[in-house]
Amino acid sequence: MSHTPANLRRRRIVMAGTAVAAAPALFNIARAQGAAIKIGFPVPLTGAFSAEAQDQVRAAELAVKEWNAAGGHKGQMAELLVRDDKLNPGEAATRTLELIEKDKVNFVVGSLSAATQLSINAVTKERKVLFNSISQSDTINEAKDWSLYTFHEALNPHLTAGAVGRYAFPKFGKKVVYLTADYAYGHEMVRGFQRAGAGLGVQTLADIRHPLGAADYSAFLPRIQALKPDILVLCNFGRDLVNSAKQATDFGLKQGTKIIAPVLLYTSRQAGGADAFEGILGGTSYYWGMEDKIPSAKKFNDAFRKAYGGAVPSDYGALGYAGIRSVLQAVKDADATDSTRVSIALRQLKYDWYKGPQSYRKCDHQSVQSVVIVESKSKNMKDKNDVFNVLAIEAADEKNLRTCEEMGHKVTT
Amino acid sequence: MEITPSLLALQLVTGIALGAVYALLAIGLSLIFGMLTVVNFAHGAFFMVGAFIGLYFMGLTGNFWFSLVLTPLVVGVLGLVTERFLVRPLYGRGIDYPLLLTFGLSWVLIEAMRVMFGIEGIPSSTPPELRGAVDLGIGFFPKYRLFLIFATAVVVLALWLFLEKTRYGLIVRAGSRDGEICKVLGIDIARVWLVVFGIGTAIAGLSGVLAAPTRAVNPEMGIHVLAESFVVTVVGGMGSLPGAVLAGLLVGIVFSLTSLFAPDLAELSIFVLMAVVLLLRPQGFFGKAGLMS
């Protein structure tokens, strides 16, 4: 039987296909020989916070790429293992356990929601694997949940709400109404505001609790109108913030009342639009527009723009970047990859990855950092990313955190 | 806090505006159930699709009114296709088959919108001529929400005229009483079902485009309202249109007034209302006893 050209071509295709199929396997073997430093990254790729989570992944991948491009640790490269925790604490715990037991990760960085970060922390703490959390929580640093392996890169509600309160109360007035999502996040934020307001003579007219994920807030608004507050605080997050801001605007509450939010996210503002958020101010861990004032922000934004087609990183994205960079820097500093030694190095770390100087407080491993106060704008926007004015940056200061004793830590070294 | 008569009155108007959206959604659900005995779990998804398509047309044309007319037509056609090719093969197999089908369909629609418009949702704004609030004498109230009450009244009136005063409306009503006899009389009942399903989904789409300026538009926005519109439908009586309107407004008002006195119980209040109504009158306000059995 003679080979026809068609047969020849088919054979070539089959061989080429086999080579392509085998390539990842070869690549894996090559990597295994180099024994990569593996970092597990459980985040909610599906669910209500998936937009933020996907940005966390993009920024984390950038951090890994930069570190590898700089030569890694004595030629040892880093690898990111992303897993979807579906915004579910049980799923997060299972994925984390799998990352540790099956994938043999060296460290875990990630999470987005207080409940998942606590469940991830429970697993990593028990297995003595270093975990750097990149989502807001007050409780993760408290003595009962904390361990030598627990780090918290994100801001916490106490710090964020406090900074916004310290900025807004003296400027806009002392009579305050809270519209609060009825779960831990909302309650913690209200506590943060009330603490910041205590010394300033701030008076709470009402703390109205609304169910989490409500679509319509109009029924709460006549009462708020009647109370005539100087400030209305929307202590809610994501879509709840978008809906309540939109409806408060419709009811004309902005005439005579300043609306503030503890956490004003870039992604929420994009989803809600300029009209709904016009004039609302809030706190955030990061806004790309800080690059005018902060050189490390400029550097980070430029790298992100270059990697992702001109897109700018969001606040939660930036946390993914910092969370990974800190851990990888600590690997270098410790000259080791085991969690105990890296944890000790991380405690000593002074860093400025994207927003100015940061460090982890010794007693509870909370990252001491600045809080950015931003105001949403609807006019004179340079492009679609230009959504906030940076009003102030509250500098990193330990005194804005709850004390180590308050958190239940006995040893403060 | 002082409860003044004007605050109560404003709270009541807020409740009516809120109830208007519930009533609109429940009318569509009730129409489809009353006629076809299909529990349409995709109703919330059609509402969500209506909101997205409405914003899409608004983006294209810059005109809210154009979008308000066109969107229900597009969603209605989607409903026609759904009935013809998905729901129709399941007639006569019991209530759970179309229920499961429409439940699955709702996830398909949610996923489709995620793919087309992204997961974050898209910003929606109030049409310029309806922006701002007016002083009703009892306090400021958004113009757009007054328009919502008005639009609901128009739809309810139009539907009532169609069902009560037209020949086709007579056939629809006859079909809901006894489809078999209609068939014997030579009426193409399959076509009537098709039209009714189309009208039901068109109203869901219209509710979506009407609700869009008041809330965040995202792929999951229909899930929450579906539960609430089922509460309304059950309270009003499954399949009853006057029941849907009355119960919709009542649920809005109960939610609104509870929000004033005990905001954290507001969500619970509508389920308590449902429980109380069902205990006293298991078939709902205007429901026929035994329709579900």
- What are the per-10-residue average pLDDT scores of chain B (293 residues)? 87 96 94 90 97 95 93 97 95 91 96 88 88 89 96 95 92 86 90 95 97 91 91 92 94 94 90 95 79 38
Residues of A in contact with B10 (CB under 8 A): 222, 225-226
Q: What is the pTM of this model?
A: 0.86
Cβ–Cβ below 8 Å for A250 and B140: no
Which of these, A165, A370, A186, lies nearest to A260 by C-alpha position? Answer: A165
In chain B, where are the structural domains located? 10-280
Question: Cα A150–A152–A155 angle (5° rounding)?
Answer: 160
Please indicate whether, in this complex, the C-beta atoms of B14 and A271 are within 8 angstroms of each other: no
Q: Compare all CA atoms of chain A with the CA of B122 and give the residue at the minimum distance.
A: A271
State how far residue B170 is from chain A, nearest Cα, in angstroms: 37
User: Can you name the CATH fold of B10-280?
Assistant: ABC transporter involved in vitamin B12 uptake, BtuC (1.10.3470)
In A44-143, which residue ranges form alpha helices assigned H by DSSP?
A: 50-69, 89-101, 114-127
> Using one digit for the tens of pLDDT, what is the confidence trace for A217-253?
999 999 999 999 999 999 998 888 999 999 999 999 9
ipTM attached to this prediction: 0.89
Give the pairing of strands B133-135 and A388-394. unpaired
* Shortest Cα–Cα distance, B9 to chain A (Å): 10
Q: Which of residues 311-340 of A touch B (CB under 8 A)?
A: none
Judged by a CB distance cut-off of 8 A, whether residue A209 touches chain B is yes
- Asked if B39 is an interface residue toward chain A (Cβ–Cβ < 8 A), one would say no
pLDDT of residue A69: 96
Helix axes A184-198, A157-172, angle to 10 degrees: 50
- The answer to whether B23 faces chain A, any CB pair under 8 Å, is no
Which residue of A lies nearest to B126 if distances are taken between CA atoms? A250
Residue ranges for chain A with pLDDT beneath 50: 1-4, 26-33
